[in-house]
Amino acid sequence: MAYRVPFIDPRSHYAKLKPEIDRAIIECLANGDLVNRHQLKDFERHLAEFVGVKYAVGVNSGYHALLFALLGAGIGPGHEVVTVAHTFVATVSAIVHCGAHPVLIDVGPDFNMDVELIERAITPKTKALLPVHLNGRVCDMDKILALADKHGLAVIEDAAQALGATFDGKCAGSQGRAGCFSFYPFKVLGGFGDGGAITTNDPQLARMATLLRYNGEDRETGEYHYHGQTALLDNVQAAVLDVKLRYLPEWIAHRRRIAELYRRGLSETRQLRLPHFDEACCNDIYQNYVVRTSVRDQLRTYLKEQGVETLVHWSRPMWEHRGLGLAVPDVPETLSICREVLSLPMSAETTEAQVHTAIAAIQAFFSKYP
């Protein structure tokens, strides 16, 4: 079905940048620059500068960024990693695939790790904290870093949804031992397929990730240092991402304007909770604009009838998927989030007119649910 207000609009996203993107792709193809060429190195350098770290290592997904960052921090069998119950499954799968045990704690009302719950989750086996900067908002990094320091833990930031978001002026992915990004097509910086990157100031972690993504091989010497994986960021994707990265500040500013329009249009709607939290320290990028309401499913159905596309991140808690073999955590906020959240249309292409259409439809719905 064609929506009046699509959740995202990949075709017009491409159309806007077509000449530059086509040029970047054709240059790779014409020169045979397909694997690990200057386009990848250029993109890594620009990404590291953007995030404010020394190194960026391009890999083929956010999942691999997490996996290699954890391995690079020495996480393995017998270790526990404290992360959140409300995240995409890849966060937890990366911990499991290191051989470590994920300990899931609850989030606060801003959807991010509840820092008050961290200490009681720490045991002698805990080796790392893995905060997730969800929806484009950075976790309380001051408290997380202080606790990590106190207990001698590594901090790996899942910044898959937060490229460009800041906490006290510092970018997501710049403060922990490593930051992990995803360039899945619908992320704030998205490729035309899967992609990801690790950011870090730690030369050893950067080197290990660089080897692990290339089957463990040091390309200069031909020496295999580890059993690695085939997980390099494609050179053509890197060329495209390097073009798009130049537009990222503009796109983030646009997302903030869209968020502000939603705030103005919906703040009087008492049945809705909007995603505007303490803004003194955090500058959010609104990867997702997530509202909460007890009549989420009815609202979503109504908006669909009105041609407004929405998504739910996520309605079914991870541990209910039996195949994942996860213990049931005590996480009341996560459970109510699963029942209540709805992501409204939000992208670099979302127009002000579309936002007004979405707001009017939401208001019309709630006039029937006083």
Ligand X SMILES: Cc1ncc(COP(=O)(O)O)c(C=O)c1O
Closest residue to ligand X, based on beta-carbon distance:
62
Decide: is 90 part of the binding site for ligand X (CB under 6 A): yes
Decide: is 91 part of the binding site for ligand X (CB under 6 A): yes
Name which position in 62, 131, 173, 329 contacts ligand X (CB under 6 A): 62
Interface of this chain with ligand X, residues 314 to 353, rule: CB under 6 A: none
Name which position in 194, 242, 284, 340 contacts ligand X (CB under 6 A): 194
Nearer to ligand X, 17 or 311 (CB): 311
SS3 of the chain: the string is CCCCECCCCHHHHHHHHHHHHHHHHHHHHHHCCCCCCHHHHHHHHHHHHHHCCCEEEEECCHHHHHHHHHHHCCCCCCCEEEEECCCCHHHHHHHHHCCCEEEEECECCCCCECHHHHHHHCCCCEEEEECECHHHCCCCHHHHHHHHHHHCCEEEEECCCCCCCEECCEECCCCCCEEEEECCCCCCCCCCCCCEEEEECCHHHHHHHHHHCECCECCCCCCECCCCCECECCHHHHHHHHHHHCCHHHHHHHHHHHHHHHHHHHCCCCCCECCCCCCCCEECCCCCEEEECCCHHHHHHHHHHCCECCECCCCCCHHHCHHHCCCCCCCHHHHHHHHHEEEECCCCCCCHHHHHHHHHHHHHHHHCCC
Name which position in 50, 111, 184, 365 contacts ligand X (CB under 6 A): 184
Q: Which stretch binds ligand X (CB under 6 A): 55-63, 114-122, 288-296, 297-305?
A: 55-63
Nearer to ligand X, 194 or 202 (CB): 194
Q: How far is the CB of 322 from ligand X (least distance, A)?
A: 22
Name which position in 5, 160, 348, 362 contacts ligand X (CB under 6 A): 160
Decide: is 366 part of the binding site for ligand X (CB under 6 A): no
Decide: is 284 part of the binding site for ligand X (CB under 6 A): no
Q: How far is the CB of 337 from ligand X (least distance, A)?
A: 14
Name which position in 83, 112, 126, 161 contacts ligand X (CB under 6 A): 161
Decide: is 182 part of the binding site for ligand X (CB under 6 A): yes
Contact present, 92 and 246 (Cβ < 8 Å): no
Contact present, 75 and 98 (Cβ < 8 Å): yes
Q: How far is the CB of 158 from ligand X (least distance, A)?
A: 5
Name which position in 83, 87, 166, 174 contacts ligand X (CB under 6 A): 87
Q: Which stretch binds ligand X (CB under 6 A): 3-11, 84-92, 118-126, 229-237?
A: 84-92
Name which position in 179, 196, 228, 345 contacts ligand X (CB under 6 A): 196
Q: How far is the CB of 324 from ligand X (least distance, A)?
A: 15
Under the rule (CB under 6 A), what is the footprint of ligand X?
61-63, 87-88, 90-91, 132, 158, 160-161, 182, 184, 194, 196
